[in-house]
Amino acid sequence: MGSHISHWDDTLSEEIYSKQDGLMSRVKTGVEGLDSIIGGGLPEKSITLVSGPPGSGKSILSFQFLYEGIKSGENGLFLTLDKKVNGLLTQAKKLGFDFQPALEEKLVKFRFLNINKKLIYEAMVNEILSGGYDRIVLDSITPLSEMPIYVNSVENNSKLDISIVNSEEFPSNTNLPVRRLHIQYIMNALEASESASVVTSELPMGSSLLSRDGISEFLVDGVIILGFDPTMDRRKLSVMKMRNTKHTLKPQDIEISEGGIRFI
């Protein structure tokens, strides 16, 4: 009888556990230590914000995430606004992420989004929605969230027509509600793609915000902060938020070397 009850208890707690964790499949980030503190990986179909100051490892973590997918035949998209693609590929290769074979097999696509082009949003959203990508990286959202936009029409709040104008046409008075709409638009596209997405955000050194815009962190499923402890000559990674996941908030010691980010 006793053993029956304990069996029943086990089943019950397992059921509760699986409800909490949604029995969802996890998407490995490629950083073993990170996966192990978030229940095996990022929740499937989730958007994770990776924030940190310059040089903290945001792009490296993004490479690692896409590369991990490629290893198991998943396809990926890397959207970048900062640098030319060739430079990125060289940087990745130096760290041990050689994307060349996957590029040739069309398993991965790197796309430079030119922020000076008016149709950047259309280009980006079309790309996100076109490919049936398993993994998407947007590195970084910061220049996009700081671009001025205007709203053409809002019909019964149901259909938003967002257009981009350049800063000469629309002087820089990007206020919070407009910016929120802007970021929401990007996040909606990522959500609709049903991919596992990583979006990076540039934080000034010592910032207490979780993203540069102060909005993104509320619109995503997970937030990972990368940072430094210069006095200890240490790099840090903290998981501040992760949907359906019990996790520590404690900053973890990491290092960057060949192979990317590693817990130490």
Binding site for ligand ATP (CB under 6 A): 52, 54-60, 94-95, 202, 256-258
Residue 8 Cα distances to 19, 41, 57, 209, 238, angstroms: 17, 29, 46, 45, 37
Nearer to Mg ion, 40 or 143 (CB): 143
The least distance separating ligand ATP from the CB of residue 249, rounded to whole angstroms, comes to: 21
Nearer to ligand ATP, 19 or 93 (CB): 93
Near Mg ion by CB under 5 A, which window of 54-62, 102-110, 158-166, 211-219?
A: 54-62
- 80 touches Mg ion by CB under 5 A: no
Residue 64 binds which entry of ligand ATP, Mg ion, none, with Cβ cut-offs from 5 to 8 Å by kind?
none
The least distance separating Mg ion from the CB of residue 256, rounded to whole angstroms, comes to: 12
- 59 touches Mg ion by CB under 5 A: yes
Phi-psi map region of 139: left, alpha, beta (phi>0 left; psi -120 to 50 alpha): beta
- 51 touches Mg ion by CB under 5 A: no
Burial 59-89 (b: 16+ CB within 10 A, else e): bbbbbbbbbbbbeeebbbbbbbbbeeeeebb
What does the angle CA 92 – CA 98 – CA 99 come to, to the nearest 5 degrees? 95
φ, ψ of residue 16 to 5 degrees: the values are -65, -45
The least distance separating Mg ion from the CB of residue 80, rounded to whole angstroms, comes to: 8
Nearer to ligand ATP, 60 or 186 (CB): 60
The least distance separating Mg ion from the CB of residue 134, rounded to whole angstroms, comes to: 22
Nearest residue (beta carbon) to Mg ion:
59
Residue 52 binds which entry of ligand ATP, Mg ion, none, with Cβ cut-offs from 5 to 8 Å by kind?
ligand ATP
Burial 13-48 (b: 16+ CB within 10 A, else e): eeeeeeeeeeebebbbbbbeebbebbbbbbbebbbb
The least distance separating ligand ATP from the CB of residue 175, rounded to whole angstroms, comes to: 25
The least distance separating ligand ATP from the CB of residue 104, rounded to whole angstroms, comes to: 24
Beta strand segments in the chain, E: 26-27, 42-43, 47-52, 76-80, 108-112, 135-139, 149-155, 159-164, 196-202, 222-229, 234-242, 252-257, 260-263
Stretch 122-181 residues interacting with Mg ion (CB under 5 A): none
Stretch 214-243 residues interacting with Mg ion (CB under 5 A): none
Positions in the binding site for Mg ion (CB under 5 A): 58-59
